[in-house]
Structure 1
Amino acid sequence: MPRNSRRAVLAGLALCLAATTVACSSSDTGKTSASGPVEIEYWAWADAQPVVDKFNATHTDIKVKLVKQADLPTTATGLRNAVAAGSAIPCLAQNFGDVPALLAEGLLADVTDYLKPAESKFYPASLKGAQVQGRYYGIPTGTGPTFMMVNRAAYDKYGVPVPKTWDDVIAAGKALKPHGVQVMNLAGEDPSTLVNLVTQAGGTWYSAQDDAWKVDFLSPESVASANILQQLVDNDLVANQTYQDRPALIAYFDQGKMVSLPTSTWQLTNYELNFKKTIGNWQPVDLPQFAGATKFATPAHGGALLVPKGCQHLKEASEVGIWMNTTKDGVDATFDKATGSYAWPGAMPDPSPWVDAAVPQKLFGSHRSEAKPVILKASRSGVDNWVVGPNYTGVFKELQDQWAQAVTKKITFRQLLENMQKFTVDDLKAKGVNVAS
């Protein structure tokens, strides 16, 4: 491919960001076998057998073979080894990273020709999670809706209004502090709150400009997000309970000493099963917004069902993935009898048929009826301006270190952004990647 046909750059071994229709991945015959249906091997650590069985029962030209994986790390290692060896490569794999970073490793196939005709079947915000420079390297899966649940009993006890903006969250934290109550939790190892705030504000840290990457950790959206976090930390309004000890974390949430949780549907069942003291005290509410925002927004950076490089049946693999993520049969097959819920249909334009099953019976008490409109509003308001750069895996590790220092007041959040700007630019240059000034 001519160098001037590319709109972005190589990173690591192979980051093919083609502006033409020429694929920078494996070829695909697109033909079914004369001796029978095409077999698509699917690697997943989740319990995907019911979905596979449903597909196989309703299709004759394609059959899916599930190869159960032990966990995410096992899947990642196995796929990297298979692609490197050029043999025993599956055609679908459960996601274990961001598409641009995995493409940079040379792990993914270009399935644009098969996804483009099906774009209308997907919720628009879900599409970007499977793209690099407008081309598809997986099947969009979307993400769960982001909203907030508050311990309404605690808010009412101390006469504090439920926050509608992030400035309100800060004000609520100051009002709750004299009572020994913290308004939110910022785990020291998890910078996702910062990432989600920047995404919600419409920002991103990377963008592609012709043959170079532009890095901007000091964008207005990033600075506004950092200012919110700085006020929460400076005024000692937040807890720093780790996610690494999940039982201890849940027990802490259940004490009534931390009263606001940004959350999503997949977390609700866990709270329902494990909250003992505060069950029924929680209320689902809209995610707080930035003051002065002209449009309600929630962060919705989605993912993808991966199509590995080396798959010999890209057309059929794409057909399977599209069916899994955009059909009623595909979503219904994810039903979990133990929880009574479905995998969240983040790629579906209308997830409303599955919302009731996502809402636990007891967690929200008298506020349970409010959950469905809150969840649907969050789902329909998802924004995804987030661009994952070619070195984001290493950048995120550095971000975790910087975040740990910021939430413990060793550095400011402004310094975090400045440090990440320098680290990211230096790292890209060290890898031979062009960086726009």
Structure 2
Amino acid sequence: MRTHPSRRLLGALAVVSTLALTATACGSGASDGSAADSGPKDYRAALEKGGKVTVWAWEPTLKKVAEDFEKKYPKVDVELVNAGTGDKQYTALQNAIAAGSGAPDVAQVEYYALGQFAIGKSVEDLSAYGARKYGTGFTPGPWNAVTQDQAVYALPMDSGPMAFFYNKKVFDKHGITVPTTWDEYVEAARALHKADPKIFITNDTGDAGATTSLIWQAGGRPYKTQGTHVTLNFDDEGTKTYTATWQKLLDEKLVAPISSWSDAWYKGLADGSIATLSIGAWMPANLTSGVASASGDWRVAPLPQWTKGDTASAENGGSSLAVPKAATNKELAYAFAEFATTGAGASSRVAEGAFPATRADLESTAFLDAPFPYFGGQKANRIFAESARNVGADWSYLPYQVYANSVFNDTVGKAYVSSTRLADGLKAWQEAGVKYGKDQGFTVDE
């Protein structure tokens, strides 16, 4: 599934307290991820009694999950509501929480945005419902994104381990070898553009999600959060490694000045003028539906490495299911979230096209051996699964990452349209984040 990484401003973040750090674990593993089979008594009682669960989400595979859940628990009515995608839903959710009414029982929240709701104590710590038992069942990146010390603020719904998508037809025509390092990637960019000035190695007009993901892969850890104490520093070695390479591409005008998800972007992917993408494993469905004419031209490879021989990867996109504190039916809400993200529910979503965050699905033979006709029959899931295993698990987002991403183009974005250096743009982004954090009551170090 695609989750757009660039977001607009949600509005001010109210900081009410530090993150809750205490929780208890209970229950044992379940065969199908249902709370009735494995959870505490109150889950069984709630499911037997029945009631209504309102779920705010835009992810289409949840429709099948809701049908399956209602079939298994006929006294429960699941109402799926599309309250908007990403920031539109977060605005509505924040408004409902502030008003004290109208909040859903379950909300889809992207990983980068979850910290905002956790720090405000507006979502439940699901470890009290036994969620911590699922920690080893999810891949490291998504699980790390939903946890803070002993607290679990959501259950991972999908993931976006990164991979390298390339137009094999274009590469073969111009004798380009698939790059295994970012230095080789720069050389490939030069060779492609020299062979045909209309061809660019990729597109980039400044994207917060793509930038932070590549910094993540390079070993950069610019964000650290402990309660309301935040460290924000884009001067670490990993960030410098990313910046040095990407600056070469910008200086030599080797990336197409085309925004992702635009009509021009889809056209470039179709005609080969945009030759590669370094993006999350949810991308195949978008290529299949949006770039159908290039079926058979594209292939998948591991992400190029910053150091030759490494296997490091990062996440790009992905969502979780959280239970707001203001939920009316918290037990039923957790039961649904658990069902949708583990066991049979997770497998159902994978069958519907979602990319799994669950180890069981990632390791299944059926998943790994599934051929992708779009990629010439390639078993691309093997590459995606390997990437998921190699995601650095110690990445953190800011508890106000939604705001930070909203001002990315006002700061870092200048490096794409002026003489501003990328490192200077990141410094300006850092300064904007520091100021905002302090204004909202955080203690912020640089």
Q: Please, what TM-score do these two structures have when normalized by structure 2?
A: 0.82
AA aligned to 2:15 is: L
Task: Determine if the alignment matches structure 1 residue 178 to structure 2 residue 194.
Answer: yes
Cα 1:334–1:66 change in 2 (3 A) is: farther
Gaps of 5+ in 1: 1-10, 23-27, 337-341
Q: Counterpart in 2 of 1:14?
A: 16
2:300 is paired with a residue whose SS is: strand
Matches of 1:288 and 1:384 in 2, distance apart?
19
Whole-Å separation in 1 of the counterparts to 2:315 and 2:292: 30
Match of 1:391 in 2: 400
User: Which of 270, 280, 288 is equivalent to 1:254?
Assistant: 270
**What residue ranges of structure 2 are gaps of 5+ in the alignment?**
1-12, 25-39
Q: Indicate if the aligned counterparts of 2:19 and 2:119 stay in contact, CA closer than 8 A.
A: no
Aligned to 1:8: none
Q: Does 1:103 align with 2:118?
A: yes
SS in 2 for 1:402: helix
Cα distance in 1 for partners of 2:227, 2:340 equals: 35
Secondary structure of residue in 2 paired with 1:304: strand
1:50, 1:334 within 8 Å by CA — same for their partners in 2?
Answer: no
* Residues in 1 aligned to 2:222 and 2:300: alpha-carbon distance in whole angstroms: 30
Match among 51, 56, 66 for residue 43 of structure 1: 56
Give the drift of 1:433.
Answer: 1.7
Q: 1:175 to 1:213 in 2, by over 3 A?
A: same
**Structure-to-structure mapping, 1:129-278, within 5 angstroms:** 129-179=145-195, 180-208=197-225, 212-245=229-262, 247-275=263-291, 278=294
Q: Distance in 2 between matches of 1:214 and 1:298?
A: 20
Mapped partners of 2:94, 2:440: distance in 1: 20
Return closer, same or farther for 1:228/1:64 CA change in 2, 3 Å cut-off: farther
Q: 1:210 to 1:270 in 2, by over 3 A?
A: closer
Relative to structure 1, is the Cα distance of residues 67 and 280 closer, same or farther in structure 2, using a 3 angstrom cutoff? closer
Residue 259 of structure 1 aligns with an amino acid whose one-letter code is: A
2: CA distance, partners of 1:74 / 1:400 = 19
Shift of 1:419: 1.4
RMSD: 3.0
Correspondence list, 1:258-407, <5 A = 258-275=274-291, 278-292=294-308, 294-299=310-315, 302-332=318-348, 335-336=351-352, 342-353=353-364, 355=367, 360-361=372-373, 363-365=374-376, 368-407=377-416
- Paired AA for residue 361 in structure 2: D
Distance 1:94 1:105 in 2: 17
Shift of 1:57: 1.6
User: Shift of the alpha carbon at 1:258?
Assistant: 2.2
Moved more, 269-278 or 410-419: 269-278
Q: For each residue in 1:175-209, what CA deviation from the matched residue of structure 2 results, as whole angstroms up to 9, or x when unmatched?
A: 12212254433332523221111111232222135
Q: CA, structure 1 residues 344+136, in 2 after alignment: closer, same or farther (shift >3 Å)?
A: same
Corresponding residue SS for 2:443? coil
| Number of matched pairs | 412
SS at match of 2:49: coil
Q: Percent identity?
A: 22
8 Å CA contact 1:202, 1:385 repeated in 2: no
Cα distance 1:45–1:256, how it changes in 2: closer, same or farther (>3 A)? closer
